[in-house]
Structure 1
């Protein structure tokens, strides 16, 4: 009788141990999945905002160069947008950070000539396109 009780007790202990292990594994996976999902949501939101800011900066360049409208094509607005793009790039990837820094450098070198010089406007637009391509790559790589 004692051996039957011992056997039953070992089965109960094994079941309890397996249940606790299964619960810990399930909980760990759930926490990991929530962290990945939250990270992806943060990157996705920052990426979409980056794309909007890039489009608005491109509009500033076009308004300044093609329309000669210094109200909509204000270099001050351009500086604000470039700064915001640099700030948001940190929420994405290192490649986006690097391309945003390159955009800031190109803007810094060309902002004064964007209204008059086509090469300056083209250089800024090319840098914008570079950041846009990196942001799209980040969005494509999300899990």
Structure 2
């Protein structure tokens, strides 16, 4: 009888040990995937912020300095394209604000050197993307 109780106790402890190991492994796997996703989102957001700053600088050079060799519109198109591409690694809000920036840029890029209103519209959209990114970054866990 005593041997049978020991065997049952051993079997129960083995079952619980396997259960706890499986739960621990599952949690660890889930946590690693969440951490990897958050890391990718952060990296994309930082790259977008760098491109936004470069685009804003390009706009100011074009508008205020009238230096079209440094502030070529082709460079602006590349920056806007990168911002849009990186936004797909972020969330829906960043994607929407990046798309709005792309739309505004496509409508006003030609008038940036001479039209203050065009500059304000594009810079407002740049600021909207920044706000979306900051909101996303603070929500990551």
TM-score normalised over the length of structure 2: 0.99
2:123 matches 1:117 = no
Q: 1:27 aligns with which of 14, 25, 28?
A: 25
2:56 matches 1:58 = yes
Give the deviation of 1:65 after TM superposition. 0.4
Partners of 1:128 and 1:30 in 2: CA distance = 38
Gaps of 5+ in 2: none
Q: What pairs with 1:79-94 in structure 2 (closer than 5 Å)?
A: 79-94=77-92
Partners of 1:9 and 1:50 in 2: CA distance = 61
Moved over 4 A (4+): none
Partners of 1:88 and 1:25 in 2: CA distance = 35
Partners of 1:136 and 1:98 in 2: CA distance = 14
Partners of 1:116 and 1:58 in 2: CA distance = 16
Q: CA RMSD in A?
A: 0.5
TM-score normalised over the length of structure 1: 0.97
Q: 1:73 aligns with which of 71, 83, 92?
A: 71
Partners of 2:70 and 2:105 in 1: CA distance = 17
Partners of 1:15 and 1:72 in 2: CA distance = 72
Give the deviation of 1:142 after TM superposition. 0.7
Aligned length: 141
- SS of residue paired to 2:65: coil
Partners of 1:40 and 1:30 in 2: CA distance = 15
